[in-house]
Amino acid sequence: MKKLLGSLTLAGVLAVGGMAYAGLDVSPEENFEKFSQECWNAFYNGDQKTNIECNEKLLKLYEKQGRYDDAMGKKLELIINYLQLNDYDTAEKYCLDLLNDAKKYKDKDMEAIAYEYLGTIYEEKGDISIKKGDKEKAKEYYMKAKEYYVKAYKAFKAEGGDKGSDGAGTAMDSIKYVNKKLKKIK
């Protein structure tokens, strides 16, 4: 998962292509340049709490301004933030919001990425269940992860091109990995 998170984190940040990070002395509406610098400093210094605060404020601003591509990018960054904190429920909330937006705005790339992250979330929940000794719950989570990875695979394949091929390859690897985990449970 760390490899997936690392590559998707980089891809997400590059895809969003913006400043997204904030001890927040100023709001984005007051002074966007200063706010962006504070955000960048929080990101660079590993201040997750401030980074999340910044991303949430920027998300609200982008939604208010009707900048839906930027808003989806912020949701992607928030998914990554919360996954890094092992807050799977909040990550899932943002992921489902991202999926709904991607479908609404017909953004096939973001739709595929949302499915991929939903798979990751459920795979992680399955891993936690295994550690707790709850094999039935783990199996349920792994099956849900597989379902989302298959949807991601199909969405990436439909997208085509290099980006679609790379995403489909990652999704297929995730499917195979979850299948191995499921076989160990039986």
Identify the CATH number of the domain in which residue 117 sits: 1.20.58
**In this structure, what token pair is assigned to residue 134?**
């709850």
What residue numbers bound the domain in which 133 lies? Answer: 88-186
What's the sign of the alpha-carbon dihedral 103, 107, 109, 110? negative
pLDDT score, position 23: 47
pLDDT score, position 72: 97
81 and 92 in a single domain? The answer is no
75 and 104 in a single domain? The answer is no
Last residue of a domain, one of 57, 85, 113: 85
Q: What amino acid is encoded at 24 in this protein?
A: L
107 and 173 in a single domain? The answer is yes
54-80 burial, b at 16+ Cβ within 10 Å, e below that, comes to bbbbbbebbbeeeeeebbbbbbbbbbb
Residues 78, 58 contacting (CB under 8 angstroms): no
pLDDT score, position 9: 43
pLDDT score, position 161: 65
Tens digits of residue pLDDT in 169-182? 999 999 999 999 99
pTM higher than 0.75? yes
Looking at every residue in the chain, the average pLDDT score rounds to 85
Q: Report the domain count for the chain.
A: 2
pLDDT score, position 46: 87
pLDDT score, position 69: 95
Last residue of a domain, one of 28, 51, 85: 85
pLDDT score, position 37: 81
79 and 92 in a single domain? The answer is no
71 and 115 in a single domain? The answer is no
Tens digits of residue pLDDT in 71-98? 999 999 999 999 999 999 999 999 999 9
116 and 140 in a single domain? The answer is yes
User: Which segments of the chain have a pLDDT < 70?
Assistant: 1-27, 161-164
DSSP string, 63-126: HHHT-HHHHHHHHHHHHHHHHHTT-HHHHHHHHHHHHHHHHHTT-HHHHHHHHHHHHHHHHHHH
